[in-house]
Amino acid sequence: MSVSEGEEGGLFRAAPSDNSQDLLDNPTKTVATGSTPEDQASPVVDEASPSSASSFEMLDMESAHAPYQEVQPHWFFCRRADDNTSWLPFSREDSDKLENAFTNISDEGEEDTVVAVEGQRYDVHVKERKRHAVYWEQAPSEVRRCTWFYKGDKDTRFMPYPEDFSKDLEEAYRKSVTSDEWKKKLDFPTGETVILHNPKLIMQYQPIGLQDDWVSSPSEHTRPRTVKRGVDNISVEIPDGEPEKVDHVVFMVHGIGPACDLRFRSIIQCVNDFRSVSLSLLASHYKRAQQEGQVGRVEFLPVNWHSALHGDATGVDEDIQRITLPSISRLRHFTNDTLLDLFFYNSPTYCQTIVDTVASEFNRLHVLFKQRHPEFSGTVSVVGHSLGSLILFDLLTNQRDESQARQGISGEPCHLNCNTLEQTLNRLGLQQYLDVLQNENLDLESLALCRDSDLKDLGIPLGPRKKILNYVRRKWLPEDCRMGAVCQAQGPQLQPEVTSTQDGNESSGLPPQQFHLHRPQSVTSAVDYEYFDVGIGQANGGIAKGQVSIDYPQLEFHPQTFFAFGSPIGMFLTVRGLKRIDPNYTFPTCKSFYNIYHPYDPVAYRIEPMIVSEVDLEPMLIPHHKGRKRMHLELKDSLTRMSMDLKNNVLGSLRTAWQSFARLPVAALPPGEGGETTTEKTLEETQASAAVTASTKREDKGANFWTKILAWSSAIHRHYFRGGFDEAESSESVEEREHREIKMGMLNGGRRIDYVLQEKPIESFNEYLFAIQSHLCYWESEDTALLLLKEIYDNLGVAIEQPQQ
């Protein structure tokens, strides 16, 4: 709720400085400092200035005597950022809950009452007056029950008084109202002086000793503060309360570095902004569904892995700092804190830390949310920005579905062939390693579960251990046990065409560019995953050439949709050696995937060309949240179409002129003369008729072209100022039908994957200037948030509503 300050400003200017100074300088008009507010509230009589009955007394005469009414308190919380301190109000619903809890606290010995506020993301300890975060680590913030507020000349908003100070002011105000005696002066032990001129004009004066030293003007020393009673009399925007019903939960993972936007805000602040944008879009695009109770809200929760990686547990920051050069310290600090995260993720040691942190945070947040919302029965989605999207891609790639999980925990022994370990090694010509394996109590079953690194630790060279692992997994384990033996390797694997060589071993017969990404279920024979150097992101044992395998933990939930913002997934997959993704591949536990990016984002890469390489497809254009294409893009498309039409008409006119010029002249002879036959005459007449018809068509086409040009401005006016026109809608529908006919694979259930945002008009002037901003724009993008909401509520059967412009 917002109140205009125009009246307040008028009252502020009406206070004469000479009268105020006289009130402060005359010691006979006040009671000694340190007395109670009842004693301090003494009437002030101005005997020195006969002209003092100016604006103050006019306000007194205008103000009618009204009975005293108790002030309605509102609860605020403190937010500290660097050196700035601001007080923000709770919503009216949360403030009422806190006030009810406050009034019910009667005994000092009772335990503190805890009230969940802000969508149950924070808990307020009422007696302690502290606000604690629930889902993430954050320092407790102060909470205050506010009734009186002040604002100085240079302040931008009203600040609440401490509760004790407000209580004294309220008591003095009550006495003045009940006795109808004003112009009272209150002195407080801290040195502040408050003068109650009338119910609408109350001023606070700072003691001169507390003024800034550089202030030299006497009038500036006594410049007062405006004092207001009650939250309804100040200019403050009280936020709307959030619906209690939660339809869906979205976990959001950040990218490199601790800051997520150009304002160097944390992932918590950016997710708070994204949540606010989604709430406003729900109110505008799902208004009817909200009124009918079909739509509640979507909860967005941040997942922070950077603090765990750079914390004291790893000690990596201290190690990096010891080898960092002292020059250009700010730039080096920025590099160590942000860009090095890319190298950490490609390091086997710290990659395991990052993956474990993200998975454990997912599971912890999911369990905690279910505890605080026991009635929740919806689904969960995940969002990854920049490097966070790659972490999620690798994590979801290596999940197990229910059938694989049951197979992995069933405990049923694999019935191996009756051949012994000795017979197997003799067949491979590797009997010299029998003693080494027997010393470790290895049999064929346990050998099939070994990784390349395990045999390497036993001192077996590369060639023999490859032969052993490949032979055991392919020859001796039946198909169901082969799947169980590699049940931890659930990621997409490279499946080459296998051919036999002269030495009996098997090798790939396909060049690297023909490797495909396959699900484990589609593998009909066990493949030695150790052969393929695909880098981080493959399952256990899927990393060769010095790379240590990563043990990917399992999530306790199955995500419904995976959204990638500004994602480098396509680039990393290509660098890892994946040239093409099998159209049949899908995440084991997640059935939908969207790759969302800004056209100028320098970090983003596409995914669809890795699935459908034979067709050059444009990405899907994300609609503007107001239901139209941006004007500069529409004008660009219109100019492109007009230039093509103009080019075609000019070329057609030149072709016609050239044909007329090249046609040979024919003498006008009477019929039958010159040996002309009837057949030749008929042929010439037919050609002439065809030429006339073609010329008429060209003239009609040219006329239609210029008609379209003349009608172009009116069409733009109809489209942007009268709600759109049918031609654009029909062209878009044709384009959508063409996109639906293209088989895009199963990574997103056969639907399109790449979605591009519309750049702003100012961004189109210089794409390099806005490149960094384009990579960080997703947290405040209404178009991005609306795409997420549309995907979520489409699955719930709730259609989007186009707001009226």
- Among all residues, which ones are annotated catalytic? 386
- How far CA 203 is from CA of 226, 293, 680, in Å, comes to 5, 48, 110
Q: CB within 8 A of 449, min separation 6: which ones?
A: 485
Distance (Å, whole) CA 723 – CA 393: 41
Is the CB of residue 545 less than 8 Å from the CB of residue 536?
no
DSSP for 640-677, please give it: HHHHHHHHHHHHHHHHHHHHHHHSPP---PPTTGGG--
Closest listed residue to residue 588, CA positions, set 488, 723, 717: 488
Distance (Å, whole) CA 484 – CA 466: 20
Closest listed residue to residue 257, CA positions, set 339, 175, 354, 178: 339
Is the CB of residue 122 less than 8 Å from the CB of residue 133?
yes
Handedness of CA 441, 443, 445, 447 (dihedral sign): positive
Mark 749-774 as b/e (b = at least 16 C-beta within 10 Å): eebbbbbbbbbeeebbeeeeebeeeb
Please, what is the end-to-end C-alpha distance for the chain in angstroms? 24
What phi and psi, each to the nearest 5 degrees, are found at residue 229? Answer: -110, 120
Tokens for 179, please give them.
Answer: 């006795």
Tokens for 649, please give them.
Answer: 């008409």
Q: Which helix (H) or strand (E) holds 159?
A: strand 159-160
Distance (Å, whole) CA 448 – CA 304: 38
Q: Are strands 561-565 and 592-597 parallel, antiparallel or unpaired?
A: parallel
